[in-house]
Structures are given as structure tokens and as C-alpha cells.
Amino acid sequence: MTSIIIVRYPRFMGWVGFLSMAVFRLPLWINPNISFWKLMGTGKNGSFDKTPDWRQWAVLLVHEKKDFQETPAFLTFWWKCFRCEQWTILLEPIEGHGLWDGKQPFGKLAKQTDYSGPICVLTRATIRIQKLHRFWSHVDAIAAKMAGSDGFITSIGIGEIPWIKQATFSIWTNKEAMRAFAYQMKDHAEVVVKTKKENWYSEEMFVRFKPIDSFGTLNGYLPFKIKP
């Protein structure tokens, strides 16, 4: 099981989120129920973005036990103390390929399954320094078209290192809608070809998840509600 937690701090409290990226490392490192974790910032516009949102931060947790669904108590206590908004989405990884820091944190996944319901997609990459300009020159147009695509629900831009280690977490009504954007939308398809041809990334990962639960709020509402 995987959790992605998006946390939004009150106005003028973004510095506490920045501090948490250092403070949270020890409790996550010593937690026996967590096999992989990442502490990340977020972009302004819901996708890859050069401008950080200093009030909003992200935590990704891969649980060692499939039935483990608790956020570590220290993190919850911290966020309550600073009156943060929290949106948590629980996920089951079902399809994917690639590496994250040389690991397969979600296990060995199938390339394709017959799952046809709502789907969440995590796309992440480490961008080569010499390719940063090429990457960022294509981002804004693609992000704008994703937001207007049929079947698109929401997305969050997340990253470990600004401008270099970037990821997008997006949610779609179904796999067909996601594929239509990824492979049929001309501009996006052309960028995918360029990433391979010009070798933009030193490492990349693409994972699809089945959403299991979604709770909390972000900017005053629940971004994605799972239908019974």
C-alpha cells in the first residue's frame, strides 16, 4: 500500500513546511512499517513548475504491510499543531516501470493489467543538468493541456529537488482518458519522443495506481472522492 499526503500550511507558515522536510527524516527512517518514503515540495500549477508553492508540501509513504493505513503519529501531531490542511490518498500500485533512486519501491509491477476504473498516475524523473532548459521550455504548454483534457480530475506537481528531481501525480476517470492524453495528444506525444531521443533524464519512473481511499481537504475541499 502507498500513501501520498499533501499538506497545506496556513498563510505565512510555509517556513514550517520547509523545516519539516528535515525534522521528519528521523521518525520516517526508524519506522519499521515504512519501506520507502519521500519528502517533497510542490509546484504552483498542479504539474511540473519552476515556482514552488511554499505553503504546500508532500509526503510519499510505501507501507511494508499492505493493511497498514496509519500516518506516523509524529507527522500527524506536527500538522495538527500548525493547523494544516491534509489530503491523504491511499493507493495500490498495479502497473509501472522504472527506478527511483535505483530502487523499485513499489515492487515489481506488471506493464499492463485489466483494471478499468479511476486511475492515479505518478510520473517522476531526474533531469540531466545539461537538459534542464530543453525540459522546462516544454512544460507549461503540456501542463495547461493536461488540465483541459477529457477525463482529467486533478494533479499535483511534486519534487525532491527544485527543477531537477520532479514528479507529477495525476488522477483520471479511467485508463482510456489517461492514454488519450499521453499518447494521442500531439504535443505530449512529441515531448515523450524528445525525452528519449535527446536523453533528457538520468532516471525515470512511471507508475499507475488503483485508488483505495481519499480523505481530508486541500484548499477547503476534497480533491478526489472515491465512489462506493
pLDDT tens digit sequence for 96-151: 999 999 999 999 999 999 998 999 999 999 989 888 887 777 776 677 777 778 89
Q: How many helices (H) and strands (E) does the chain have?
A: 6, 8
Three-state DSSP class for residue 32: coil
Alpha-carbon dihedral angle through residues 99, 182, 217, 117, given to the nearest 10 degrees: -90
Q: How confident is the model at residue 179 (pLDDT cuts 50, 70, 90)?
A: confident
Amino acid at 46: G
CATH of segment(s) 2-216: 3.30.70.100
pLDDT tens digit sequence for 27-74: 999 998 899 999 999 987 655 567 789 999 999 999 876 655 678 899
Average pLDDT over residues 188-217: 87
pTM of the model: 0.90
Average pLDDT over residues 172-192: 80
Q: Where are the domains of the chain?
A: 2-216
Compute CA distances 143 → 50, 176, 228, whole Å: 12, 19, 30
